[in-house]
Homo-oligomer: A and B are copies of this chain.
Amino acid sequence: MTHDITGLMAALPGLDWITDPALVRQKSRDFFWYSPVLKRQLNGARADVVAVPRSEEEVVRLLAECHARRIPVTTRGAGTGNYGQAMPLLGGVVLDMSAMDAVLWAKPGLVRAQAGAKIIDMDRHTRAAVGGELRFHPSTKRTATIGGFIGGGSSGIGSCTWGILREPGNVLGLRVVTMEETPRVLELRGAELDLANHAYGTTGIITEVEMPLAPSEDWLDLTLAFPSLMDAARFGDALASMDGVVKKLVCVLAAPIAQQYFKGFPALGETEAVVLAMVAPPYLDALVPLLARHWGREVARIRTEDAPVPAYEFTWNHTTLQALKVDRSITYLQTLFPAPDHLALIARMEREFGDEVPIHLEYVRLGGRVCCFGLQLVRFTTEERLNEIIRIHEDAGAPIFNPHAFTLEEGGMKQVDAAQLAFKRQADPLGLLNPGKMLAWDDPDWTPDRPGKVYLFPAAEDEAD
């Protein structure tokens, strides 16, 4: 497909355009190469041109001109997504939000920023201005944008206290530009937030976000070692269950993940499991008896601010990244171990797979309950075996969110619901926003291959019962 890019650029001469082929290629890619499957499928995807708007008005004009010319638009924050979410499957324009990075205001407990603001810059700003910080952030905090997090992320460091992006109250407002003949600018709040939250930019361009803040803390990175994975998991569960203890991270790592893959990490016994935790200093006292009860020992403690590499860059999807840096044959799973039987399920999977699937857990709150996500590493042998591993997890009651799929639905985090489809029909009637990422749009008869599949972002109707 060829697009009238020359006409587009001529119509918007004041816009910042990137045309250098190497740069355009770079801005057309994200961390899709994490997955060998996506790497094969998406490697060729690239935009014709990259636009870098400096204001919402420029976004509106860009969308109007692209609409007039039927040119696809794929939005990009920092391009740290790891499912090819930001990759332009049909070419056209990549809309790079990185120049719209202003923090608009901060009040106690609240912040509003342009969608291209980097998460780390928002935290710096709100910490100084109102003693607050974002409730949670992806482990890519140092590079990712807030709009990209909401458009393509789900949860992260802080979700052990606050839950995930999808949960009411974790996003307060989104300003969204639609892709119509005359684009509209909407402010979504309350239940409407779901129309743009984790939509890969298929239902509109987010230009501003309003987020709740947690009190900022002088976090401590704690490295704790335990005799076994299940000791570590039980400690993690107990810590995650302590509502009185201010914490931001409870990550559990089976041996030999840290031993084998973490550069510059403190010395550990060969079979020791690790908990990486972030705790506010006044609450350390509360951990002492808990650690003793679970046979744990403190290996290292450092202020997050002072750490050469913050602990969180060994957690969440960064665990996999650290492993991939050492061993390119590693792949991974994304699993939900649902409450209340998550510990029993984890023990069962450990027995079942042993070192073939080294277990990595992130404690989260989901619907008010403590449970964990698994981001297990997999020592890959064959595609059949990988599918078997997935099937065994799902049959045991631990749903897998496939990290080897680039559509919203197949990744399994999001189930497209009628309200969202109806919204896309209005907001993007020609289907030009990030085309190819929403299966339910391209194929209205699409249904999941596994009925009863569990979604992290279920459709609104499903939740009612």
Contacts and interface: CB of A to CB of B under 8 A. Distances in A.
Interface of A: 108-110, 131, 135, 161-163, 167-170, 172, 189-191, 212, 215, 217, 240-246, 280, 282-283, 285-286, 288-290, 293, 340, 365, 367-370, 460, 464
25 contacts: A108-B215, A109-B215, A109-B246, A109-B282, A110-B282, A162-B243, A162-B244, A167-B242, A168-B242, A168-B244, A168-B245, A168-B290, A169-B244, A169-B245, A169-B246, A190-B289, A191-B285, A212-B282, A241-B367, A241-B369, A242-B368, A243-B365, A243-B368, A293-B464, A340-B340
Given A243-B365, A368-B242, A286 B109 contact: no
B464 A285 contact: no
Contact of A167 (B108, B243, B288): B243
A337 to B, nearest CB: 15
Contacts of A242: 167-169, 368
A163 B244 contact: yes
Contact of A369 (B131, B189, B369): B369
Contact of A289 (B169, B191, B340): B191
Contacts of A135: 244
A45 B439 CA distance: 76
Contacts of A290: 168
A283 B169 contact: yes
Contacts of A289: 190-191, 460
Nearest to A240: B368
A274 B341 CA distance: 33
Given A109-B280, A168-B283, A243-B365, 6 more contacts: A109-B217, A168-B245, A168-B290, A169-B245, A191-B288, A212-B282
Nearest to A109: B215
Interface centre among A243, A365, A464 (most CB of B within 10 A): A243
A172 B241 contact: no
Contacts of A215: 108-109, 215
A25 B353 CA distance: 71
Given A190-B288, A288-B191, A370-B368, A212 B246 contact: yes
A282 B112 CA distance: 13
